Amino acid sequence: FDLREPVIRGIRPTLLLLFAASGLLLLIACATTAWLLLLQSVARARETATRVALGASRMQLAVQHLAEGLLIASIGAALGVVLSVVLTPTIVSMAADYLPRVDEIVVDRAVLLFALLSAVLATLLSSVAPLRYATRTAPADVLNEGLRATAGSRSRRASHGLVVVEIAFAFALLASSAVLIEHAQQRDE
C-alpha cells in the first residue's frame, strides 16, 4: 500500500502538468539557444575552417561547442536555482491551501541535482546543431569561397528547423497551460 497516493491524489494531475510545462519551457530555451549558437557557428565558419585546416580534430571542435553550451546552461541553471530559493517560500505560502504537506517543500540536494542534470541536458541539446554544422562544412569551401557561399542552404534549413521546433514546443506549452488552467477552475468549483 503506497501512502503517497491518498495524499497527492487530488493534485497529481496538476503537478504532472506543471512538470510537463516546465519541461517544454526548457526545450524552448534549448531550441532558442541552439539557434543562437548555430548563428554564431555560421559567423565563425572561417575561424573553424582555419582550425580544421591547421589540424583540429572533430573532438576538439566538439569540446569547444560543448564548453560554450555548458557556459550558457550553467548561467541559466545558477539563475534558476537562485530564483527557486528566493521564490519558493512565496509560492508555497500562496498555495498552502491547495498543497498537502506544504511544510516539506524546500530546495534541497535533489532539486540541485535535478538542476545540474537539466544543465547538462540543455548543454547537449543546444550544442548538437552548431556542432553538426561545424563538422559538416568543408574547410576548403569556406576558405576558398568565403563565408557567404557556405552559409547558404544548409544553415538556413537548420535555422528554419530550429524555429519550427521552437514554435511547436511553444504551442505544446500553451496547450498544457490551458489544460492546467481548466483543471484549476474545475477544482475550485
Residue found by looking up cell 540541485 in the block: 112
pTM: predicted TM-score of the whole model, two decimal places = 0.67
Q: Which of 40-44, 64-68, 139-143 has the lowest mean pLDDT?
A: 139-143
Helix (H, G, I), strand (E, B) or coil at 43: helix
**pLDDT tens track for 156-168:** 666 667 677 777 7
65 Cα distance to chain centroid: 16
Q: Which of 14-18, 74-78, 95-99, 143-147 has the lowest mean pLDDT?
A: 143-147
- Whole-angstrom Cα distance, residue 97 to residue 102? 9
Give, to the nearest 10 degrees, the angle between helix 12-43 and helix 109-136. Answer: 30
CA dihedral sign, ordered 97, 100, 102, 107: negative
pLDDT of residue 184: 64
The answer on pLDDT for 147 being more than 50 is: no
**pLDDT tens track for 97-126:** 777 777 888 888 988 898 888 888 888 888
pLDDT of residue 189: 62
pLDDT of residue 169: 76
Q: Which amino acid is located at 161 in the chain?
A: G
Residue 156 burial class via C-beta count within 10 angstroms: exposed 0-12, middle 13-18, buried 19 and up? exposed
The answer on pLDDT for 140 being more than 50 is: yes
Q: Which three cell numbers stand for residue 115?
A: 538542476
Helix (H, G, I), strand (E, B) or coil at 55: coil
Q: Which three cell numbers stand for residue 56?
A: 583540429
Find all residues with CB under 8 Å of 143, minimum gap 6, and list them: 46, 49, 50, 53
- Choice between 90 and 39, residue whose per-residue pLDDT is larger: 90
The closest of 59, 105, 115 to 82, measured between CA atoms, is: 115
- Whole-angstrom Cα distance, residue 8 to residue 5? 6
Q: Round the average pLDDT of the chain to a whole number and report it.
A: 77
Question: First CA to last CA across the chain, in angstroms?
Answer: 31
**pLDDT tens track for 16-60:** 777 888 888 888 887 788 778 878 877 777 788 888 888 888 889
Element (H, E) at 118: helix 109-136
